[in-house]
Amino acid sequence: MFRYILRRVLYMLITLFIIATITFFLMKLLPGSPLSAENKLSESQQEVILAKYGLDDPIPVQYVNYMAGLVQGDLGISFHFDNTPVTQILLDRMPPSLTLGMQALVFGTIAGILFGLIAAIYHNGWLDYTSTIIAVLGTSIPSFVFAGMLQWYFATKWELFPVALWGTYAHTVLPTIALAIFPMATAARFTRTEMLDVLGSDYITTARAKGVTEPGVIFKHGLRNSLIPLVTVMGPMAVSLMTGTLVIEKIFAVPGIGEQFVSSIEVLDYPTIMGTTLLFSVLFIVIILVIDILYVFIDPRIRLTGGGN
Amino acid sequence: MATNQKKHEPPKELFVPHERKEDTSERITKPSRSFFQDARRTFFKNKSAVLSIILMIIIIIMSIFAPHFNEYGMDEQDLSRAKMPPKIPVIEDLPFFGMNGTLASEFKGDDVEEATKNAVMRYNNDEDFIDIEVLSEGDGSADSAEVAATYHIYEAKEMQDEYFWLGTDQLGRDQWTRIWLGTRVSLIIAFAAAAIDLLIGVAYGGISGYYGGRVDNVLQRILEILIGIPNLVVIFLLLIVLQPGIISIVLALTITGWTGMARIVRGEVLKQKNEEYVLAARTLGQSNGKIIRKHLMPNVAGIIIINTMFTIPNAIFFEAFLSFIGLGIVPPEASLGALVDSGFKVLRLYPYMVFYPAVLISVIMIAFNLIGDGLRDAFDPKMHK
């Protein structure tokens, strides 16, 4: 087990190194310099500024410097947002994104499991059809369309929640719901299928024959066993949360990582784009690793020995 | 005793010789169907999937022909007719649809007069063309009075004879034309991405699974590295570096997109190639290529079709998502995502600009997902009846 984790972490570091290298050289390939818009500066002034940021060094030197900085958590300095270090920008913008992501994940998964459970218990009843329809809509309708609907009805029309921005808890409600839709629908679909499978198995019949109460059968025997495979869809869920934060933070003007990324693209602030991309990579890879390890802990039937089977 | 016993026995004349019939227990009563025929039957019994197919055919036909239904071009800008609301002949007389070419909203003020003033100010001070309906008189406190205002913008601009079926955008471009052209772009991207994923994924997975051994080992290591790189990151980087456009989006979507297909095909081929029919084919001297094409592919086809059907909505979503955050299709080109994005900037004032592209993209996504679900059931032997 320990060796497996060690190996995976090593792989992870190699992947990150490759991503950082590719990102660096792609950014260097791009035309223009951070000063190309500033016509007012004389040639010598520009040279001074480029030297200050180390942009006049040969590319290999810049690369080594960048990598050395990266190891120490230094992602460079933003070209656009008041010369703030990118690390600082990202740290400042972390809390809103984390709040939204966590709330959406917890709320979405719990609501989804409930929907799936109800659908499975009332199999082929109208509750089943309703929750299936909700699940299909939830996985199909793009998150930005859904977010727009929420904003239009709950904020603009009925004025129940703030339209946008960040501050009080009420500000988090609409973005969280918009973000939670996909995890909810996925969890609902999955729980329903698994639950139907489990409820048809022999040990459930045994439990009923023993005289276990119906809630006992469903929660203790049924639900617990059908939730194990749910871990496998956590990966896609996490990815959807990441793409989701980009659009939803933009729509609700939440000062988070996603909103930062979208506005950096608009002004082509390369250090910030690079930093955010790397952050996304780290998050993504770590989440997948955690899910893989979690899966082994939950389901003892999966054994991790040697390379992929 | 003996006579008594005889009495209870049935008389001999009741016994008739048994007529020998042909054994029918193994007769085939139903027509024998191949797996694909069964799959087709199951699929066409699925109402929502069939409905989705019909809907998608209509949408595809519309995306080809609908932009030519009116005389407005895709990039005909005219600020004098910017932000016109939808207006359709005949339907304009039915109040229910809200396509009568008016802008309507509710306005608040301390009293009716102030609310009315707010409404008139909002609508270009064209008092003559604004209908005011008082909703609440108010008691003098802040924002207590409310009026509903309807602005007849077509009359105000003396364009009674013009019909913008779905309105115009901020630059006066016809939304009907742009929405269908945008649908065309979105669908082209989705189909192209799905086709490329299919080609590369099936070839890679098929070769890896069929040849096995060292080939498989090398190909799988490469695949592992590719899967380790988050595709979102690859897509972002490529789109920042490449010129925006259909081709770069397709490239960005497919450059890592095929790995999923390759994995699935490999797994399935590994399973199928040890079946006896493959051994039989090989014994009869079939070449490797022929075995793959004639024997393995039809048996792996189900899973490939299902996977492709889910690639399409995924690509549509990603294209819309990228256009929405400013990395996809750039104006004057349009895609559904780009249209929703530009509409969002004026959502509060002109909701129709978001509404129609948003509905269309949602319908397309739902339809493809339902078709995918239908196919998955159709290729599942347990669902055949």
Read off the CATH number of the domain in which B317 is found: 1.10.3720.10
HSE (side-chain half, CA atoms, 13 Å) at B19: 1
Specify the pLDDT at position B363: 92
In a domain, B274, yes or no: yes
In a domain, B235, yes or no: yes
Interatomic CA distance for residues B264 and B257, integer angstroms: 13
DSSP state of B165: T
- Give the domain-ending residue among B156, B187, B208: B156
For an interface test with B, give the residue of A247, A262, A268, A289 to mutate (most B CBs within 10 A): A247
Q: Both B207 and B324 in a single domain?
A: yes
**CB distance A144–B320 less than 8 Å?**
yes
Structure tokens at B15: 């016994």
Q: Which of A29, A10, A9, A11 is nearest to A274 (CA)?
A: A29
In a domain, B48, yes or no: no
**CB distance A280–B229 less than 8 Å?**
no
Nearest CA in chain A to B369: A140
Interface list for B 298-317 with A (CB within 8 A) = 313, 317
Interatomic CA distance for residues B327 and B244, integer angstroms: 7
Q: Which of B372, B342, B378 is nearest to B357 (CA)?
A: B342
For an interface test with A, give the residue of B240, B259, B322 to mutate (most A CBs within 10 A): B240
Interface list for B 320-359 with A (CB within 8 A) = 320-321, 324-327, 337, 340, 344, 347-348, 351, 354, 358
**CB distance A266–B232 less than 8 Å?**
no
User: Residue A86's pLDDT band (boundaries 50, 70, 90)?
Assistant: confident
Across the strands, what pairs with B106?
B148
C-beta neighbour count of B37 within 10 angstroms: 12
Give me the long-range contacts of B268-275 (CB less than 8 A, separation at least 24).
B268/B209, B268/B300, B268/B303, B269/B205, B269/B206, B269/B208, B269/B209, B269/B210, B269/B296, B269/B300, B270/B209, B270/B212, B272/B296, B272/B299, B272/B300, B273/B209, B273/B210, B275/B299
DSSP 3-state of B100 = strand
Q: Both B108 and B236 in a single domain?
A: no
**CB distance A142–B225 less than 8 Å?**
no
- The answer to whether B230 faces chain A, any CB pair under 8 Å, is yes
A208-231: average pLDDT: 82
Interatomic CA distance for residues A176 and A306, integer angstroms: 41
Specify the pLDDT at position B57: 94
In a domain, B126, yes or no: yes
**CB distance A141–B225 less than 8 Å?**
no
Structure tokens at A48: 């001074």
Interatomic CA distance for residues B356 and B364, integer angstroms: 12
**CB distance A156–B220 less than 8 Å?**
no
Structure tokens at B23: 């054994």
- The answer to whether B215 faces chain A, any CB pair under 8 Å, is no
Structure tokens at A240: 């959807």
Structure tokens at B19: 């007529």
Q: Let me know: does A17 contact A276? Beta carbons within 8 Å.
A: no
A80-102: average pLDDT: 82
- The answer to whether B280 faces chain A, any CB pair under 8 Å, is no
In a domain, B102, yes or no: yes
pLDDT below 70 — which residues of chain B? 1-7, 74, 79, 82, 88-101, 124-128, 138, 140, 142, 155-161, 383-385
Specify the pLDDT at position A308: 39
Specify the pLDDT at position B74: 67
Tokens 């104006």 belong to which residue? B331
Question: What is the tally of structural domains in chain B?
Answer: 2
For an interface test with A, give the residue of B234, B317, B359, B382 to mutate (most A CBs within 10 A): B317
The average confidence (pLDDT) of chain A is 80
**CA-based end-to-end distance of chain A:** 16
Q: Let me know: does B147 contact B107? Beta carbons within 8 Å.
A: yes
Specify the pLDDT at position A303: 54
Q: Both B245 and B128 in a single domain?
A: no
Which chain A positions have a beta carbon within 8 Å of B233's beta carbon? 19, 277, 280-281, 284
- Domain locations in chain A? 88-256
In a domain, B105, yes or no: yes
In a domain, B71, yes or no: no
Q: Both B199 and B227 in a single domain?
A: yes
- The answer to whether B236 faces chain A, any CB pair under 8 Å, is yes
- Boundaries of domain holding B188: 175-383
Which chain B positions have a beta carbon within 8 Å of A277's beta carbon? 233, 236-237
Which chain B positions have a beta carbon within 8 Å of A242's beta carbon? 232
Across the strands, what pairs with A97?
none
CB nearest A156 (choices: B225, B327, B348): B348
**CB distance B366–A136 less than 8 Å?**
yes
Which chain B positions have a beta carbon within 8 Å of A156's beta carbon? 347-348
Interatomic CA distance for residues B347 and A163, integer angstroms: 12
In a domain, B67, yes or no: no
**CB distance B230–A284 less than 8 Å?**
yes
User: Residue A285's pLDDT band (boundaries 50, 70, 90)?
Assistant: confident
The angle at the Cα of B256, spanning A245 to B299, to the nearest 5 degrees, equals 120
**CB distance B229–A142 less than 8 Å?**
no
Q: Both B287 and B315 in a single domain?
A: yes
The shortest C-alpha distance from A147 to chain B (Å) reads 11
Tokens 């320990």 belong to which residue? A2
Q: Both B107 and B145 in a single domain?
A: yes
- The separation between CA A85 and the C-alpha centre of its own chain, rounded to angstroms, equals 23
Interatomic CA distance for residues B225 and B184, integer angstroms: 35
- Pick among 1.10.10.10, 1.10.3720.10, 3.90.800.10, 1.10.1270.20: CATH of A88-256: 1.10.3720.10
**CB distance A145–B240 less than 8 Å?**
no
Specify the pLDDT at position A306: 40
- The separation between CA B341 and the C-alpha centre of its own chain, rounded to angstroms, equals 19
Torsion from C-alpha of A105, A108, A112, A114, nearest 10 degrees: 100
Which chain A positions have a beta carbon within 8 Å of B313's beta carbon? 140
User: Residue A47's pLDDT band (boundaries 50, 70, 90)?
Assistant: confident
The residue ranking higher by pLDDT, B139 or A172, is A172
Q: Both B138 and B270 in a single domain?
A: no
Q: Which of B205, B233, B224, B187 is nearest to B335 (CA)?
A: B187
Specify the pLDDT at position B195: 94
**What is the rounded radius of gyration, in angstroms, for the C-alpha atoms of chain B?**
33
pLDDT at A305 over 50: no
Nearest CA in chain B to A8: B228
Interatomic CA distance for residues B376 and B55, integer angstroms: 19
Residues in chain A: 309
Burial A64-102 (b: 16+ CB within 10 A, else e): eebeeebeeeebbbbbbbeeebbbebbeebeebbebbbe
Please name the residue ranges forming H helices in B169-326. 175-211, 213-228, 231-241, 246-272, 276-283, 288-290, 297-324
Residues in chain B: 385
> Phi-psi region for residue A306, left (φ > 0), alpha (ψ -120 to 50) or beta?
left
Q: Both B322 and B235 in a single domain?
A: yes
Percent of chain A, pLDDT > 90? 0
User: Residue A307's pLDDT band (boundaries 50, 70, 90)?
Assistant: very low
Q: Both B181 and B313 in a single domain?
A: yes
C-beta neighbour count of A187 within 10 angstroms: 28
Q: Both B101 and B232 in a single domain?
A: no
Which chain A positions have a beta carbon within 8 Å of B368's beta carbon? 140
